[in-house]
Structure 1
Amino acid sequence: MQTLKHFLVFLFCTTVLVNLATAQVKDTLLKPIDTVQVQKTPLVIEKLGPKSKIDTVKSNYINPGKVAGRKAIIRSLIVPGWGQLYNIQLLKDGYGERAGKSHVLQKAYTIGKIGAIYGGFGALTFAYVDARKNYKIFLKELQYRFDNNAPFDPNGPFGERYSDAGITNGKNTYKRNSQIVIFSYGLLYLANVLDAYIAARLHFFNVDDNLAFNLSPCLQNTTLYGSNYVPSIKFALTF
């Protein structure tokens, strides 16, 4: 009887344990294990107001005066006077007519500058040819005197009028004159470029007649004459 009792208790405990294990297995199967954990980052939504606009394309400002000046320089470097002709064409681009005035005088003035440029080159060319011609004459006379040990060349244009020192000074003078003419060529060429550039840049400046000035008395803060304020005149220029 005692043995049966112990057997029934063991059977009851075994049944309870089996039921608990079965319930645990069923609960494990119903809940799948998530082996991959995805880190979720919060999504930030930027609220843009009506005045907040994203400008993906930033337009760069182009200075028309700077562009025109560069073009005038390039043209003047290639052909003297070409930059001045380009400045005449600028009068028809809309900026030249912004004041509502005629540009006949300005065009005539620019054409006059072109004539002065080529007139200057022509005068310098004439001076250079004359200087080289006289230089060769003096040089030929001097070479004849030294080569033949003679006081002068009987077939030359000088005769006995000039000594050897005078012939040498004349030769050096005309040589120096030709060098000055070459230097003047460079100066005139540079002046042509600068004139075209400055005129092209000034073309885009506001040069209307809205110019005014005002004079008014005021007190200026200073330590002169033992006083902190000195009466003065204020000059204001508006353009």
Structure 2
Amino acid sequence: MQINKLLILTFLFAIFLVNQASAQVKDTVLKSVDTLKSVKKPVVEPKVMTRQDSMKAKYVNPGKVAGRKAVFRSMIFPGLGQIYNLHLLNDGYGERAGKSQTGQRIYTIGKIGAIYGGLTVLTIAYIDNRQLYKRFLAEAQYREANPGKENDLTQYSDAGVISGKSTYKRNSQIVIFSYGLVYIANIVDAYVAARLHFFNIDDKLGFKVSPSVINSSNMYGFTANPAVKLSFTF
């Protein structure tokens, strides 16, 4: 009996070992398959160029970009666009083209001074005209409330006081309109100067003289007259 029990236990132990061995082999196979899956390289699909990508490859006009920046600065505050153009003169573009930028710098600084000088003159003129307008207005109101009496402007008649009041009021309005003109001129000048900075404008000028024929007939037909044609290239 003991021998039979021993054989049965040995048989069961052998079955247990076989099961453990088969489980380890199965796990090893699965791990190798997983390893192969992780090593597999992903397939990279070719990138299709979109419209936005094609737009990025377009040529960028530096003059157009500089013009927009100059306009934006001039709109914020008069003269800032000219100051931006003054910094553009330091990029060496004109000097690389064989031109000195000293005269252009002086010209740009002069334009900045002209802008602020013009605004200063307009401001002084506006203040003076407003003060005189208020003075004539007060005199007109006093004479209207007190017929036959004069308060301040004794050298003026009633018609002169009314005319002076209207004149100084109109002058104040003209000054305000001039402010707008200076503001617009400041923007236009900044844009044009920024765009022209990137144009290759040299001092080479050529001309060509050649014979030609001009039709002098006013009606139908052709009447040839000799002429000289002058062509300029720059």
> With structure 2 as the length reference, what TM-score do the two structures score?
0.71
| Residue equivalent to 1:51 | none
Residues 1:66 and 2:64 are matched in the alignment = yes
| Residue equivalent to 1:224 | 217
Residues 1:76 and 2:74 are matched in the alignment = yes
TM-fit CA distance, 1:94 = 4.1
Is the 1:90–1:96 contact (alpha carbons within 8 Å) kept by the matching residues of 2? no
| Residue equivalent to 1:236 | 231
Query: For 1:204, which of 172, 178, 198 is the aligned residue?
Result: 198
Find runs of 4+ consecutive structure 1 residues off by over 3 angstroms. Answer: 55-58, 222-230
Distance 1:132 1:231, change over 3 A: same
TM-fit CA distance, 1:102 = 2.1
| Residue equivalent to 2:167 | 173
Between Structure 1 and Structure 2, how many residues are aligned?
180
Letter in 2 for 1:213: F
Q: Deviations over 1:110-141 (max 9, x none)?
A: 00110010000000000000000111111111
Query: For 2:91, which of 90, 93, 97 is the aligned residue?
Result: 93
- The separation in 1 between residues aligned to 2:102 and 2:118, in whole angstroms, is 24
Q: Deviations over 1:55-109 (max 9, x none)?
A: 9564212121111111111111111111111111112334222322321111011
Match of 2:211, SS state, is: strand
TM-fit CA distance, 1:205 = 1.4
Over aligned residue pairs, what C-alpha RMSD do you find?
A: 2.1
| Residue equivalent to 2:189 | 195
Larger Rg: 1
Gaps of 5+ in 2: 1-47
Q: Deviations over 1:11-51 (max 9, x none)?
A: xxxxxxxxxxxxxxxxxxxxxxxxxxxxxxxxxxxxxxxxx
Letter in 1 for 2:232: L
Is the 1:91–1:97 contact (alpha carbons within 8 Å) kept by the matching residues of 2? no
Q: Deviations over 1:142-171 (max 9, x none)?
A: 111111223312xx2x22x22211111111
Q: Which has the higher helix share?
A: 2
Which residues of 2 match residues 45-64 of structure 1 at below 5 A?
Answer: 56=49, 58=54, 59-64=57-62
Which residues of 2 match residues 2-151 of structure 1 at below 5 A?
Answer: 56=49, 58=54, 59-151=57-149
Q: Percent identity?
A: 59
- The separation in 1 between residues aligned to 2:225 and 2:166, in whole angstroms, is 64
- The separation in 2 between residues aligned to 1:183 and 1:86, in whole angstroms, is 26
Distance 1:228 1:141, change over 3 A: closer
